[in-house]
Amino acid sequence: MTRSIMRWFLIVPLLAATLVFPYAARAAAPPANIPFAVVTTTSQVADLVRMTAGDRASVTGLMGEGVDPHTYKLTRSDVAKLAAADIVFYSGLLLEGKIIDALTRMGGSGKPVHAVADRLDPARLLTPDGFDGNADPHVWMDVPLWITALNLVRDRLIEFDPAGADRYRENAAGYAAKLARLDAYAKETLAGIPERSRVLVTAHDAFNYLGRAYGLEVRGIQGISTESEAGLREIEGLVDLLVDRKIGAVFIETSVSERNIRALIDGAAARGHRVTIGGSLYSDAMGTPGTYEGTYVGMIDHNVTTIAQALGGNPPAQGFEGRLAALAR
């Protein structure tokens, strides 16, 4: 065993202890300082908290651009950030599979830790075949469902910081109104795709909620988790679908390898049917921080506009708010 590995084995118990023990005595107390420190896992959850909390909180997201939450593992830096946080939010429904246990233990120790999607109405969740009875965690793809998650974040912030209640209600209401307009844009834009072309083929099953909300048939090569392997039978079945229904475009994802998508294109070409990449979609992570696509609104706008354009719709070139870079036609 090398010296660096030995040092890591010595550090881990100390870091674990910092995650478990200090919170019980202060968890119920309101924040001592404003802005208080919030740590989130995914960028989508970070967006909800920032839009609701405003300047009353400093929000740090652990998972940035292009990061796959299904396979994410905590680093020593992450552990330090979690230890210093006043309150923690994560997505839940097993999305952050490899770190759920650590987050659950932290919450059990007294620190306020909230899984946003775990609190959604089970009747509104999708439970696909082959996922052992667990719900699909990609709930942010359904904008009205994400508005419900926004309201849950609002309520948890009010519980934690009652002095900011009026600000949280005002911020959440304003953001919910904007998301309602985004939802209307998505409905109108995706409805413009010809009916025979309303098939969305992507690298993994991250878009089922989007399909349900906006009337698309969604097919992913991999399962809901990117840790599942795509078999030859699945790829051959999707090639059959593309050829038989004359689907001309498939989509890659910013946080998932495009290897299997390339296999679909090659398979269809071998059977005389040309398929192109319709664009790159944001699935488990948003765009670059500081850009429009690095916001939840920009993420959904980009996805909806890209899908509509590639599948034969006629969306505005620069999307919902005129802030997208014009997509190549």
Exposure of 260 by Cβ count < 10 A (0-12 exposed, 13-18 middle, 19+ buried)?
Answer: buried
Structure tokens at 82: 């979690």
pLDDT value at residue 233? 75
Task: Please report the sign of the dihedral spanned by the C-alpha atoms of residue 179, residue 224, residue 292, residue 295.
Answer: positive
User: What pTM was computed for the model?
Assistant: 0.86
Q: Judge whether 231 and 237 are in contact, CB under 8 Å.
A: no
Phi and psi at residue 90, in whole multiples of 5°? Answer: -135, 170
Mean pLDDT by 10 residues, the chain (329 residues): 39 43 46 93 97 98 87 94 96 92 91 95 89 89 98 98 98 98 98 94 87 94 50 80 91 75 89 93 91 96 97 94 75
Exposure of 273 by Cβ count < 10 A (0-12 exposed, 13-18 middle, 19+ buried)?
Answer: middle
pLDDT value at residue 22? 42
pLDDT value at residue 92? 95
